[in-house]
Structure 1
Amino acid sequence: MDWASIIGLILVITGIFSGQLIEGGRLSSLVQPAAFVIVVIGTIGAVLLQSRMPTFIRGVKMLKWIVSMPIDTSKKTIQEALIWSVVARREGFLSLERYMGASKDPFISKGLRLVIDGIDPVRLKEILDVDISLYEIEQRQAVKIWDAAGGYSPTIGILGAVLGLIHVMENLSDPSKLGSGIAVAFVATIYGVGLANLFFLPVSNKLKEIISSEVTRREMLSDIFYSIALGDSPRVVEERLANHKK
């Protein structure tokens, strides 16, 4: 559980509502279904227009990482890597098959399989580095939907404000309808700017940080498999790991 995200979200909501009450306003005045529909549905539509559906779905699924971050397995990976190097040195590459079968991480399984198959170390590292690059590109493309939402929502909020003002101008002869039109105009702007700067963009930045951590872990694994394939001693593998921890 990522308490920083949860606390941050609570502070955002509390700050906005508290400020509204301190100013003597009503919370109900911030609830405008028309403005919500314009901004949220409009933003989703704009993001879908620029994205492929698989990319959009992948980006939405990443949202769960904000409150439930992927488990950091770096320490466990380091311990396992030292075991792999010792076993490979003493018993040969084929002895790593039991670790490959027990691993639930596809990248680790692939790396161990390449070592077991006796792939040339340089070629092995090239294969794994390409895999890392493809993973990073795919993940960052998915995160871009949140960047895009952060860019579109303020503009769509302004669009909602203009629509609200048009509604006001159309009903100048009926004062009873002026209030709702003006409310939609201002609240739509609040929704657009607020969602962009208090949700969409922070979510994007946090997801980028998570992806960067995973890429770093995979780069470390790539170096480990390269070292094991070269037949390096466990001491050399440990030195490579030390370089990644700096």
Structure 2
Amino acid sequence: MDPATLIGVIVGLVIIVVANLMEGGNPTSLLLVPPMLLVFGTTLMVTLAGGTMSDAKHALGALRTAFTGGVRPAGEVVPMVVALAEKARREGLLALEEELKGVEDPFLVKGVTLAIDGTDPEEVRDILESEVHAVKAQGKHSAKFFADAGAYAPTIGIIGTVMGLVHVLENLAQPEELGHLIAAAFIATLWGVMSANVIWLPIGNRLKRLTELEAARMELVIEGVAAIQAGSNPRVIAQKLSSLLPAGEQAAPPAKAA
């Protein structure tokens, strides 16, 4: 679990509330149902209108992943692949069938299983790369849904403010009500801008980043499976896969003897 988005969104909202209190404001005055309903409801509906029902279902289903999900570090793949390569080099590919029962990475299991079944290396790569493409496409659609919501929300907030100001003009004969009505009118703009920059856009960026990390891990697995199938030396495989990792995840080179 990686709660970065959950922490960021909640703490960001808390800071806004604290800043409001420090300025002498009343946070409850910001919680007006009509402008919030207008901003959140209309934003979701117009975002839905720009895509398909399937896109919306997948995007809303990805909310849990955005707030609490995470991707295992790609570096974890290297020792697993090296262990499989060592066994395959000693006992052959068929010996890996039993070894796969202890592997928790389903994508790695799928790739090695294809290799065990005698699938042509090019076909194995094509099958696995197609799955990576599908993951990227799904992540792109989910991220785009929330990025679009972040683009629509401020404009929807302005619409709400204009509606509120029209209501203000209708009540010019009651000056004692104008202050409250004007303040309420601008709440819609506040929620439009705030929801876009504190909720929708961070969620979209989070889903995009998780997709990138998952795809990078899967691509590392593809290279590992190809190396196992080719019968490469396990030490060479370890060096090759490590070189594909980000600098922060690469293992430190062994120290030279004095």
What TM-score do you get using the length of structure 1 for normalisation? 0.90
Letter in 2 for 1:204: G
Q: Report the alpha carbon displacement of residue 105 of structure 1 after superposing the two structures with TM.
A: 3.5
CA contact (8 A) 1:38 1:156 kept: yes
Q: How many residues are treated as equivalent by the alignment?
A: 246
Residue matched to 1:138? 138
**Which range moved further: 54-63 or 114-123?**
54-63
Report the residue type matching 2:171 in the other structure: N
Residue 212 of structure 1 corresponds to 212
Stretches of structure 1 that go unaligned for 5 or more consecutive residues are none
Distance 1:54 1:109 in 2: 29
1:145 aligned partner, one-letter code: F
Contact map agreement 1:34 1:184 (CA 8 A) in 2? no
Q: Deviations over 1:78-101 (max 9, x none)?
A: 221111111111222122222444
Shift of 1:125: 1.6
CA distance, structure 2, for counterparts of residue 124 and residue 7 of structure 1: 40
What secondary structure sits across from 1:202 in the alignment?
Answer: helix
**Structure 1 residue 24: Cα displacement:** 2.3
Distance across 2 between alignment mates of 1:91 and 1:180: 80
Q: What SS is found at the alignment partner of 2:244?
A: helix
Q: Deviations over 1:117-149 (max 9, x none)?
A: 222223322221222112111111111111011
Structure 1 stretch displaced more, 4-13 or 117-126: 4-13
Whole-Å Cα distance in 2 between the matches of residues 131 and 92 of structure 1? 26
Q: Say whether the 8 Å CA contact 2:149–2:196 is kept in structure 1.
A: yes
Q: Does 2:232 align with 1:232?
A: yes
The Cα of 1:212 is off from its aligned counterpart by: 0.9
Change in Cα spacing, 1:4 to 1:142, as seen in structure 2 (3 Å) is closer
Shift of 1:14: 2.8
User: Using a 3 Å threshold, how does the CA distance of structure 1 residues 191 and 55 change in structure 2: closer, same or farther?
Assistant: same
Normalized per residue, the structure richer in helix is 1
Q: What residue in structure 2 maps to residue 197 of structure 1?
A: 197
Matches of 1:26 and 1:184, distance apart in 2:
13
Deviation for aligned residue 1:102? 4.5
Identical columns (%): 34
Which AA in structure 2 matches 1:184?
Answer: A
Q: Is the 8 A contact 2:142 2:207 kept in 1?
A: no
Tell me, yes or no, if the aligned pair for 2:93 and 2:116 is still in contact at 8 Å: yes
Structure 1 residues 47 and 99: alpha-carbon distance in aligned structure 2, compared to 1, 3 A threshold: farther
Per the alignment, residue 162 of structure 1 pairs with 162
Compared CA separation, residues 98 and 53, structure 1 to 2 (3 A): farther
Distance (Å, rounded) in 2 between the aligned partners of 1:114 and 1:237 = 19
Which residue of the partner structure matches residue 107 of structure 2? 107
* 1:127 has 2:127 as partner: yes
Q: Could you say which residue in structure 1 is the equivalent of 2:56?
A: 56
The offset of 1:54, in angstroms, is 2.7
Q: Structure 2 matches for 1:141-152, cutoff 5 A?
A: 141-152=141-152
**Per-residue CA shift, 1:18-51, capped at 9, x if unaligned?**
2222322222221111100000000110111122
Distance in 1 between the 2:33 and 2:54 partners? 29
Q: Deviations over 1:169-213 (max 9, x none)?
A: 223334465445323320000000011112211221122122111
